[in-house]
Structures are given as structure tokens and as C-alpha cells.
Structure 1
Amino acid sequence: MQRVTVQYFDPSDGPSFEATYRERHVPLVKAIPGLERFTLTRPRGGEDTPYLVAELWFADLDGLKAGQASEEMAATRADAETYDVARRTMFSGSVEEV
């Protein structure tokens, strides 16, 4: 499995951010080709804990690459840039069952 993780930190208005994210961004993510699973987490923790974590799961590296190169991913990235958050961190990698 391959996973893309996006962490959103300190939105200027948390409830508004989350409502807009769910209404506008979630459908964009779900349209990405090759996407197998999409999860959202509202972490609890310390001072540097993200407000929201999105995880996009793909079956393999080829699926991830195809999804990343798609028009749907481009639209998703463009939408992500519009959110008023202190910072956004994105990374991807292989997931290993242990």
C-alpha cells in the first residue's frame, strides 16, 4: 500500500474550515483515480498536533503515481491551497504491515 498524508495546522476558524473541507474538498479527493481509501482524523494531543489529518490510500506505487499525475489531483491540490491554515504538511510513503 502507498499512502499520502496531509496535515492541516491551526485553521483561522476551525468549524468553518472543517465544514468547507467536507463539503468542497472531500468530493475532489474521492474523485482521484486509483484512490482505494480516504480517512480523516481529528487528533488529540499536544501543542504541535495538527487540527486535521487526511490519509489517501493507494494499492501500489503505480496507482499513487497515476493519482498524483491526474487532473483530479491537480484540482485537489489547488483547492487545498485556498484554506486559511497556519501550515499544511504533505508526505507520502509505503505502508508496511508488521
Structure 2
Amino acid sequence: MTARFLVLYEAPADPAAFDRHYREVHLPLAHRLPGLRRYTLGDRPADVRGSQPCYLVAELEWDTMEELRAAFASPEGRACAEDAVRLQDLAPVRSMVFDVAEP
């Protein structure tokens, strides 16, 4: 089973400041999360049904939900979560975790 952490960032008031902070500060922190298997970004996604699209989509992947939770309980995870508060000051954000299942 695979566990994912999905983050949806809405349009920031200052895209340049958001991009700079995300790429220079947040990404390096996130890449240090223990057990992280994969980190992908969907840059400026387009909504299929015409509603307000997100600005950025981040998808992080672990082997299990237990590993995901342990990663965010670690010192690296706490540092990443603290920085996520700064990102929320730059752009509204929604996040969720889920197990990936084959239909």
C-alpha cells in the first residue's frame, strides 16, 4: 500500500515571493523527510470543469501511512510543518493524506 500527502495551494498574492520561498526554503526541508519515496509538483494546474484552479499541487509519497505519520513526527517533519505555516501566509492551502488503492 502507498500513502500520499496531497497539498493544494491557491493563487498567492505575490507569486514571485511564494515561488522563491517554496523552491529555496520549503522544498529543501520537504526533501529531508524520512522515508519520502517520491515528491512531485503540478505547476499551475488547469481545472477541468471551469472552477478556480489551484496555483500549485504537491504530492508526496511514502510506502505506508505509518511511515508518512512518522516522517511528520520527526524533527525534519516538524521543521517542514513550521515552514508550511509561513507558506499559508503567502497562499491559501488545503492538504490531505490518503492511502492509494487500486480500483
Partner of 1:97: 102
Residue by residue over 1:51-80, the C-alpha shift from the partner in whole angstroms, topping out at 9 and shown as x without a partner, is 011111000122112112111111111111
TM-score w.r.t. length of structure 1: 0.90
Question: Quick one: percent identity of the two aligned structures?
Answer: 37
Residue segments in structure 1 that go unaligned for 5+ positions in a row: none
Q: Indicate which of 62, 66, 88 corresponds to 1:62.
A: 66
Kindly indicate which of the two structures has a greater share of residues assigned to strand: 1
Question: Residues of 2 paired with 1:6 and 1:63: CA distance?
Answer: 18
Question: Residues of 2 paired with 1:91 and 1:50: CA distance?
Answer: 15
Is 1:23 aligned to 2:24, yes or no? Answer: yes
Question: What is the one-letter code of the residue matched to 2:30?
Answer: V
TM-score w.r.t. length of structure 2: 0.86
Residue segments in structure 2 that go unaligned for 5+ positions in a row: none
Is 1:76 aligned to 2:80, yes or no? Answer: yes
Over aligned residues, Cα RMSD in angstroms?
A: 1.3
What is the total number of aligned residue pairs between the two structures? 97
